[in-house]
């Protein structure tokens, strides 16, 4: 057992310049250094029994014809850690014939089993002394009739040889983990060389970034890495939003694929907790999101989620005016206070918008859904990825009334908007007019008497000779219900059994201009939406006025 110390500057004419492990011997090396030793077989160590290497053990700077660092002969070698580096396999004593050397700069195996679970084999060299006998296996050479090399982890990098800069596989090479990269071969197989072309090589895990000879590199997913963190700060009752999450999949051949959350299912990826999970302090605060690739079992974790009740006082939606008559300054742009200030104003508009078109909804749940649909869309489009919304209905009355709170949080700040909406009875006042008008430079949709039916918060936009207005205002005027799917960015309009579905940035059949988010509003072509639900649209050029009749 070697836990420390140094074995150096020793020479053996045959076996083990530093250490010779006999057939019935168990050598455990968890520390210390074996360096600058020389032998024909195993410059650092010759192993004829059982050799286990781990921890900070270091075998470096040794020289041998076969196995500059370690030579295993009818033996078992397990590497759980440590480093084998800067060793050379080259003929060191005068000889001729098949014993010219140059095999296994780091490790040479003959009828042995080598299992690598961890550790590093790097910057070793297999050097040809005879031009007719090319060197093999800069890091590892297997050349017996019953060699088995199992690589489950660790790194093989920066090694050189004429054939097989990293590994020269003689019989059986099973790779289920680890990385082989940055190795060089003068002829073939920078990473792995099938020395006999009859070796059985399986690659089910791990990464081979270098070229190979005589077999096919696996196309499995070898690693999953989180490259873009999702939103991680929430208030209790907020729903987990993974829309900003991106991972990189690294394949067995070292190729990579960036995968956004929308493509997780197609790439056999799952997240725990899942998108849309209602978060609590007890269950989720301080825990990461774990992403798992189903086929390979590879996992990656995000940073920890923070779920915390806001402790700072609420920020008012509008600046207050102190008693001395000088207006208080607005919050500075980019700060959490400013973000909340903007979000509160937009939230008030959203609640007012849904309340104004309450006659379009048939259930309390549809009103709650409409409010939920407005707010995350606006947050993602304009304010900040750090803005959170939680809709907490307190009561849903039998008469269709809803009383609750829309809680908004940005950084350490939070506030709430009372939500009090009643669904009018069928036939009650407030239903949309049969004919209404929109002036292109006006925020107001009016009826035939010039009375305001709906007041928009943005002006119409002209694009490709089409008028675009916010979907919730035109749907409100037409009496259509609106649904929003944040995962797919899909809008659904329904009215009297008719259903229209389209995706932001894409056109539906017959729609020549796609719906799009401008500011914090989903803008849609007015004529297409109106005519889909049976309305007639007339353009008055002189007045620049749009007339819509249902």
SS (H, E, C) 484-518: EECCCCEEEEEECCEEEEEECCCCCCCCCCCCEEE
Give the mean pLDDT of 71-94: 90
Instruction: Give all strands (DSSP E) within 411-470, no chain letters.
Output: 413-421, 435-439, 444-447, 452-455, 461-463, 466-470
pLDDT over 70 (residue 275): yes
Beta bridge partners of 247: 226, 259
pLDDT, greater one: 347 or 522:
522
SS (H, E, C) 265-291: HHHCEEEECCCCCECCHHHHCCCEEEE
Q: Among 394-403, 522-531, 532-541, where is mean pLDDT lowest?
A: 394-403
| Element spanning 472, H or E | helix 471-478
pLDDT over 80 (residue 326): no
- Residue 515 has a pLDDT of 87
Which pLDDT tens digit goes with each residue over 450-479? 666 677 777 888 888 888 888 877 777 777
- Residue 419 has a pLDDT of 60
Local confidence band at 303 (pLDDT 50, 70, 90 cut-offs): very high
pLDDT over 80 (residue 413): no
- Concatenating the DSSP letter of every residue in 295-323 gives TT--EEEEEEPEE----SPPPPSS----T
Q: Among 41-45, 51-55, 253-257, 532-536, where is mean pLDDT lowest?
A: 532-536
Residue 549, C-beta contacts closer than 8 angstroms, at least 6 positions apart: 434, 435, 535, 536, 538
Most confidently modeled range among 25-29, 145-149, 446-450, 476-480: 25-29
> Is the preceding omega at residue 154 within 30 degrees of 0, hence cis?
no
- Percentage above 70 pLDDT, the chain: 74
Give the mean pLDDT of 57-75: 95
What's the pTM value of the predicted model, to 2 decimals? 0.55
SS3 199: coil
Q: How open is the CA angle 152-206-190, to the nearest 5 degrees?
A: 105
CA pair distance 249, 254, nearest whole angstrom = 9
- Residue 320 has a pLDDT of 35
- Residue 311 has a pLDDT of 41
User: Nearest to residue 271, comparing CAs of 238, 299, 312?
Assistant: 299
Local confidence band at 312 (pLDDT 50, 70, 90 cut-offs): very low
DSSP conformation class of 380: I
- Residue 387 has a pLDDT of 55
Helix, strand counts (H, E) of the chain: 5, 47
Residue 272, C-beta contacts closer than 8 angstroms, at least 6 positions apart: 289, 290, 292
Beta strand 481-485 with 490-495: parallel, antiparallel or unpaired? antiparallel
Structure tokens at 425: 């009875």
Local confidence band at 415 (pLDDT 50, 70, 90 cut-offs): low
- Residue 41 has a pLDDT of 94
pLDDT over 70 (residue 383): no
pLDDT over 70 (residue 61): yes
Give the mean pLDDT of 406-412: 60
pLDDT, greater one: 233 or 368:
233
Local confidence band at 382 (pLDDT 50, 70, 90 cut-offs): very low
- Residue 356 has a pLDDT of 59
CA pair distance 109, 136, nearest whole angstrom = 12
Give the mean pLDDT of 437-454: 75
- Residue 324 has a pLDDT of 34
SS (H, E, C) 207-252: EECCCEECCCCCCCEEEEEEEECCCCEECCCCECCCCCCEEEEEEC
Q: What are phi and psi of 527, to 5 degrees?
A: -65, -45
Give the mean pLDDT of 395-424: 57
Which pLDDT tens digit goes with each residue over 159-170? 999 999 999 988
Place of tokens 């590994």: 167
Q: How open is the CA angle 426-427-432, to the nearest 5 degrees?
A: 105
């Amino acid at each position: 057992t070697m836990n420390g110390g140094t074995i150096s500057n020793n020479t053996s004419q045959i076996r083990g310049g530093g250490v010779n492990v006999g057939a019935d011997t168990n050598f455990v090396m968890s520390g210390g250094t074996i360096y600058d030793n020389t032998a024909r077989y195993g410059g650092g160590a010759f192993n004829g029994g059982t050799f286990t290497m781990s921890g900070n053990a270091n075998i470096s700077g040794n020289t041998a014809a076969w196995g500059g660092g370690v030579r295993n002969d009818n033996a078992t070698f397990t590497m759980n850690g440590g480093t084998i580096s800067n060793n050379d396999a080259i003929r060191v004593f005068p000889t001729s014939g098949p014993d010219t050397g140059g095999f296994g700069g780091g490790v040479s195996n003959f009828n042995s089993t080598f299992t690598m679970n961890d550790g590093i084999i790097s910057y070793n060299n297999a050097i040809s002394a005879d031009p007719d006998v090319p060197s093999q296996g800069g890091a590892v050479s297997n050349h017996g009739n019953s060699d088995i090399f199992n690589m489950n982890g660790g790194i093989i990098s920066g090694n050189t040889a004429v054939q097989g800069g990293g590994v020269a596989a003689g019989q059986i090479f099973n790779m289920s983990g680890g990385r082989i990269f940055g190795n060089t071969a003068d002829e073939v197989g920078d990473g792995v060389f099938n020395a006999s072309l009859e070796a059985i090589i399986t690659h089910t895990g791990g990464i081979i970034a270098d070229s190979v000879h005589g077999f096919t590199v696996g196309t499995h997913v070898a690693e999953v890495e989180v490259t873009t963190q999702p939103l991680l700060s929430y208030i209790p009752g907020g729903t987990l939003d993974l829309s900003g999450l991106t991972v990189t999949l690294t394949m067995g051949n070292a190729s990579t694929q960036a995968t956004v959350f929308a493509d997780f299912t197609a790439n056999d990826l799952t997240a725990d907790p899942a998108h849309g999970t209602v978060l609590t302090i007890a269950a989720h605060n301080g825990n990461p999101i774990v992403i798992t690739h189903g086929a390979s079992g590879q996992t990656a974790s995000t940073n920890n989620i923070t779920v915390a009740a806001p402790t700072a006082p609420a920020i008012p939606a509008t600046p207050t005016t102190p008693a001395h008559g000088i207006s208080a300054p607005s919050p500075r742009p980019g700060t959490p206070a400013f973000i909340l200030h903007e979000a509160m104003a937009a939230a008030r508009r959203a609640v007012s918008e849904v309340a104004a078109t309450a006659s379009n909804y048939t259930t309390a749940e549809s009103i709650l859904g409409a409010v939920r649909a407005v707010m995350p869309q606006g947050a993602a489009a304009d304010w900040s990825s750090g803005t959170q919304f939680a809709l907490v209905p307190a009561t849903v009355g039998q008469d269709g009334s809803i009383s609750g709170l829309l809680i908004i949080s940005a950084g350490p700040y939070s506030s709430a908007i009372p939500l009090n909406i009643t669904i009018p009875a069928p036939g009650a006042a407030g239903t949309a007019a049969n004919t209404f008008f929109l002036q292109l430079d006006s925020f107001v949709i009016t009826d035939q008497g010039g009375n305001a039916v709906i007041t928009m918060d943005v002006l119409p936009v002209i694009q490709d000779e089409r008028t675009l207005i916010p979907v919730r205002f035109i749907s409100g005027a037409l009496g259509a219900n609106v649904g929003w799917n944040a995962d797919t960015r899909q809008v659904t309009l329904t009215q009297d059994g008719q259903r229209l579905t389209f995706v932001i940035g894409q056109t539906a059949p017959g729609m020549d201009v796609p719906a799009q988010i401008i500011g914090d509003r989903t803008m849609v072509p007015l004529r297409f939406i109106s005519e889909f639900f049976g309305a007639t649209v007339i353009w008055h050029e002189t007045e620049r006025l749009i007339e819509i009749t249902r």
